[in-house]
């Protein structure tokens, strides 16, 4: 009997005798993941990305004076339609230029965001007197604004104001917190040891 025949007979012996074939080690094989696990991983990545975005926004707010504003009216349409969210950055009044879209804070009133149409020196070196007009308005605002700083619009994203406003609701924040907690617990919850028992039964230690 040749060596190759001996090896073949040894390989065929367990099948012929009805004994279970030795289990193969799972090392090196790609793990099989069900659709539930894949969806859970995707949701974890989305939650992580959302957390990173929130952290970045907080850092920018403190370091670069960058914040968000929402447009409830269409006075800046079609450039910035109602329901848009804009990224704004606070700048000194001396950096304002004609044509800039800026937000002016008004004590006791809502801020106004319009386009600058004229700039005049103020009572001090830091002050400027500006006039503004909304792109959708036929005339300038009824009075000028004396400012030492404004928030200039860097860019806008239309149609997400309601979403951003909803994210600030206590009910929504509470629901998101509970959902994120449940997702993290599910992701790190110990899995069943059935796989280990099967491997031990098959002869793998």
Q: Contact at 8 Å (CB) between 133 and 179?
A: no
Q: Can you give the pLDDT at residue 191?
A: 62
Residue 139 counted as domain residue: yes
| Residue ranges for the chain with pLDDT beneath 50 | 23-26, 195-198, 201, 204-205
CATH number at 132 reads 2.10.109.10
How far, CA to CA in Å, does 77 sit from each of 39, 82, 105, 136?
Answer: 40, 7, 20, 5
With a pLDDT cut of 70, the percent of the chain lying above it is: 50
Residue 168 counted as domain residue: no
Number of domains in the chain: 1
Measure the CA–CA gap between 1 and 64, rounded to whole angstroms: 83
For the whole model, what pTM was predicted?
A: 0.57
- Residue range of the domain that includes 135: 65-163
Q: Can you give the pLDDT at residue 170?
A: 58
Residue 34 counted as domain residue: no
Q: Contact at 8 Å (CB) between 151 and 90?
A: yes
Residue 114 counted as domain residue: yes
Q: Can you give the pLDDT at residue 25?
A: 47
Measure the CA–CA gap between 9 and 30, rounded to whole angstroms: 31
Residue 156 counted as domain residue: yes
């Amino acid at each position: 009997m040749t060596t190759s025949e001996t090896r073949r007979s040894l390989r065929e012996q367990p099948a012929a005798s009805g004994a279970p074939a030795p289990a193969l080690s799972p090392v090196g094989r790609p793990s099989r993941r069900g659709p539930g696990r894949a969806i859970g991983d995707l949701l974890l990545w989305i939650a992580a990305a959302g957390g990173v975005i929130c952290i970045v926004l907080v850092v920018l707010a403190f370091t670069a004076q960058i914040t968000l504003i929402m447009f409830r009216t269409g006075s800046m349409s079609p450039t910035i339609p109602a329901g848009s969210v804009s990224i704004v950055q606070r700048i000194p009044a001396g950096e304002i230029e004609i044509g800039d879209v800026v937000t002016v804070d008004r004590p006791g009133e809502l801020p106004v965001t319009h386009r600058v149409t004229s700039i005049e020196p103020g009572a001090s070196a830091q002050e400027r007197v500006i006039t503004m007009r909304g792109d959708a308005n036929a005339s300038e605002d009824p009075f000028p604004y004396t400012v030492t700083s404004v928030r200039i619009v860097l860019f806008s994203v239309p149609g997400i104001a309601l979403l951003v406003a909803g994210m600030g609701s206590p009910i929504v924040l509470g629901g998101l917190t509970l959902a994120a907690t449940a997702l993290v617990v599910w992701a790190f919850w110990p899995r069943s040891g059935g796989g280990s028992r099967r491997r031990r039964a098959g002869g793998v230690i």
